[in-house]
């Protein structure tokens, strides 16, 4: 991707992230203050927009803003980010609570089915215990009847008829009780089968509910909770805090990054206009030959002397001295066909805004500088403006060495330097 197009991508990312954070925050704050939701959402929306403007303003004018103003704006920015994060948390927690309530209802239904299943299992256990008791009684009666039948044969053999009839009556009673117990046992077995069918239905219901939960919105969170062997609420809170930490702070950083790229792009555009001009052919200035700033020229009063005839003659005023390095630059400028132009002082006045611009301030963009010259009512050609910027660069009026192109000399000194071109 070309560098010139990257600021569009960065701007879209910043706007998108900020818009998403604002939407979540405004909606979340509306839910937190449901009694005045519309009013709160309007206020929150305006504050969200103001937050982005404050971030851009603080970054662009950090060196020009006073300390108290800077401190307040930074604190306000942090507080607004905290409010945004609280709104995002309110929105996410509200969304989770709706899903969580459905899961809690489903879990409650599962718990109810489990309790019913336990009740049926308890009934089955009690019935089986009763069946076992009856089976033991039946076994005992069968054993007693067998012994009585053996005794009955013995009594008939010895012709004890009266005692034999008593034994026959006992055997008959035992048979009757055995039939009754057998019938009751069969009935209890049918009850156990019914209970088992109910337990099976309840098991199926629990399985279906659990399957529905795994298909619901909270399924991924349940898997994560099982993976970390933790409660699902803790897992959800952990992810919500991660989103809060990334969303709004990332939006602010992207806004600052967009401003940075735009500023650097405008400075590179201004530099490109100057760099395209042919470089000077003079030898580089050595460290001990740094261009000296011209001394302020103070006009002295004219002095008069007398000649041999007693006549008064004015003393010739000394011309201001020109530094050798500056002389070399002037010669080189003239060799490139850049001569004196009365408009240069007007250009300089626009560049310094009549003396309002100080050393270290940024140089305006090329388009902005042209617009300012036009508003000033100056007549110029593009070549004249480029020649003027070349002169400013060569005489170190502007500093084009670093990434930020700035004013390097005071207005009064720069004005004296430009004035030398008329000599």
Residue 384 near residue 414 (C-beta atoms within 8 A): no
Domain boundaries, the chain: 3-253, 287-422
Distance CA 165, CA 78 (A): 108
> For the CA atoms of 187, 189, 195, 201, what is the dihedral angle to 10 degrees?
-120
Nearest 5°: CA angle at 166, between 160 and 169?
A: 140
Per-residue DSSP letters for 178-189? HHHHHHHHHHHH
For residue range 190-225, list pLDDT tens digits in order: 888 888 888 888 888 888 777 776 666 666 767 777
Q: Helix (H) and strand (E) counts for the chain?
A: 11, 4
CB atoms within 10 A of CB 330: 20
The tens place of each residue's pLDDT in the chain, 423 residues long, gives 444 577 788 888 888 888 888 888 888 888 778 788 888 889 988 998 998 899 889 888 888 888 999 899 999 999 998 888 888 888 888 777 777 777 777 778 888 888 888 888 888 899 888 888 888 888 888 887 778 777 777 777 777 777 877 877 888 888 888 888 888 888 888 888 888 888 888 888 888 777 776 666 666 767 777 777 777 788 888 888 888 888 888 888 888 888 888 877 665 554 444 444 444 444 444 444 444 444 444 444 444 445 555 554 554 444 444 455 566 666 666 666 676 677 888 888 888 888 888 888 888 888 888 888 888 888 888 888 888 888 888 888 888 776 777 888 888 888 888 877 655
| CB burial readout 218-237, b (16+ within 10 A) else e | beebeebbeeeeeebeebbe
CB atoms within 10 A of CB 26: 23
Residue 302 near residue 315 (C-beta atoms within 8 A): yes
Q: Where are the beta strands (DSSP E) in 218-372?
A: 304-306, 312-314
Enter the pTM of the model.
0.44
Residue 361 near residue 300 (C-beta atoms within 8 A): no
Residue 49 near residue 116 (C-beta atoms within 8 A): no
Locus of tokens 């809690």 = 104
- Mark out the alpha helices in 216-231 (DSSP H runs): 219-228
Please name the residues in contact with 313: beta carbons below 8 A apart, sequence gap of 6 or more: 304, 305, 306, 307
């Amino acid at each position: 991707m070309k560098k010139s197009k990257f600021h569009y991508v960065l701007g879209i990312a910043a706007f998108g992230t900020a818009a998403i954070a604002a939407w979540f925050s405004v909606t979340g704050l509306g839910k937190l203050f449901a009694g005045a939701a519309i009013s709160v959402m309007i206020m929150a929306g305006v504050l969200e927009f103001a937050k982005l403007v404050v971030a851009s303003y603080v970054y662009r004018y950090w060196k020009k803003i006073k300390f108290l103003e800077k401190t307040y704006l930074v604190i306000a920015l942090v507080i607004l980010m905290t409010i945004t994060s609280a709104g995002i948390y309110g929105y996410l927690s509200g969304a989770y609570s709706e899903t969580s309530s459905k899961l809690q209802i489903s879990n409650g239904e599962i718990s109810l089915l489990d309790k019913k299943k336990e009740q049926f299992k308890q009934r089955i256990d009690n019935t089986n215990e009763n069946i076992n008791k009856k089976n033991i009684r039946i076994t005992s009666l069968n054993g007693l009847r067998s012994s009585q039948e053996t005794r009955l044969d013995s009594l008939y053999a010895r012709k004890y008829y009266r005692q034999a009839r008593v034994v026959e009556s006992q055997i008959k009673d035992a048979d009757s009780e055995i039939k009754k117990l057998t019938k009751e046992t069969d009935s209890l077995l049918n009850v156990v089968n019914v209970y088992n069918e109910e337990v099976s239905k309840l098991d199926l219901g629990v399985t279906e509910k659990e399957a529905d939960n795994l298909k619901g919105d909270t399924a991924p969170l349940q898997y994560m909770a099982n993976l970390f062997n933790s409660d699902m609420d803790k897992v959800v809170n952990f992810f919500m805090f991660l989103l809060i930490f990334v969303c709004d702070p990332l939006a602010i950083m992207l806004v600052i990054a967009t401003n940075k790229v735009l500023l650097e792009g405008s400075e590179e555009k201004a530099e490109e206009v100057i760099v395209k001009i042919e470089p000077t052919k003079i030898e580089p200035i050595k460290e001990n030959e740094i261009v000296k700033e011209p001394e302020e020229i103070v006009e002295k009063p004219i002095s008069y002397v007398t000649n041999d005839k007693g006549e008064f003659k004015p003393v010739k005023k000394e011309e201001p001295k020109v530094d050798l390095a500056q002389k070399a630059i002037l010669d080189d400028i003239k060799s490139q066909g850049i001569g004196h132009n009365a408009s240069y002082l007007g250009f300089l006045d626009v560049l310094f805004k009549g003396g309002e611009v100080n050393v270290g301030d940024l140089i305006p963009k090329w388009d902005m500088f042209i617009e300012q010259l036009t508003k000033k009512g100056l007549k110029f050609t593009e070549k004249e403006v480029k020649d003027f910027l070349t002169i400013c660069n060569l005489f170190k009026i502007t500093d084009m060495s670093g990434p930020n192109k700035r004013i390097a000399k005071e207005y009064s000194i720069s004005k004296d330097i430009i004035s030398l071109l008329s000599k």
